[in-house]
Amino acid sequence: MIGEEQYELIERYHQGELTEDERQNLEQRIGQDPEMQKLSRQIKALIDVSRVNRLDEAMNTLKSIEKQTKEKTKGPQPAKPRQLKWLIPLAAAIAAFALIYNFLLARPQLDPLYAEHIELLPSRSEKAVTDDILDEAYSLYSFQKYRKAARLFNQAVEAGKSKENLIYAASAYMELRQFNKANTILESLESESTIYTEVSRLQALAILQLQGREAAKTYLDRRYQNRQIHPDLQDLFDDLSK
């Protein structure tokens, strides 16, 4: 006859709460007693089912919170106006605009490898930069105001600042998914030795987005023709070679 104690013991066994001695004793009993064996399988299945059910429940709770959040943001619906005919051409114009926008201007679909390997340059806010324009550019970059940041990096370099700063402009354009602009800047930085690896990674990824994996791999091959590829780029290179 199986009593409360056995139930509890088996439950604690499957929850990993028994001491080594208790566990060994119980396993021996389970091995010898078919009834205990059956109970053990049943309790294990109940623990698994409880987990699946509770996760489903959590998901439903979150969906209902999301629904409430959206309803709250929407607020009360305005009263329906009597005459709506003038809305039809307006709605058609908005739909046409949305279509054109999506077709021409929407952010391009990313290659999975791009998302996996992109590492935007870190913000340099903690680094002292004594130049006004560069200060402003780095600050905008760290606040993810990429468009303005890229413009200011370009201006700073035109005004005679180190060309290496342009890699941040390229990184900003990458984030804006403007891969052509990023690529053009990176081409101008190809020979900068101090930022060779960063330029290689960003440009390989820009080429990946613009021309595909084969072209990105060829680019890295060309960059590292006579040398060992940099260890930081090895994963990317391997993924491109698959």
Report the interface residues with another protein, using CB under 8 A: 4, 7, 11, 15, 39, 41-42, 44-55, 57-59, 61-63, 65-66, 69, 107-110, 112, 115-116, 144, 175, 177
DSSP string, 169-199: HHHHHHHTT-HHHHHHHHHHTTT-GGGHHHH
Cβ distance to another protein smaller for residue 50 or 162: 50
Q: Taking the complex as a whole, how short is the minimal distance between the CB of residue 84 and another protein, in angstroms?
A: 27
d(CA 83, CA 162): 62
Cβ distance to another protein smaller for residue 144 or 234: 144
Q: Taking the complex as a whole, how short is the minimal distance between the CB of residue 89 and another protein, in angstroms?
A: 27
Cβ distance to another protein smaller for residue 102 or 130: 102
- Token pair for 35: 């009834």
Sign of CA pseudo-dihedral 220, 221, 224, 230: positive
Q: Cβ(160)–Cβ(190) under 8 Å? A: no
Q: Taking the complex as a whole, how short is the minimal distance between the CB of residue 46 and another protein, in angstroms?
A: 5
Cβ distance to another protein smaller for residue 93 or 94: 94
Angle subtended at Cα 71 by Cα 66 and Cα 77, rounded to the nearest 5 degrees: 165
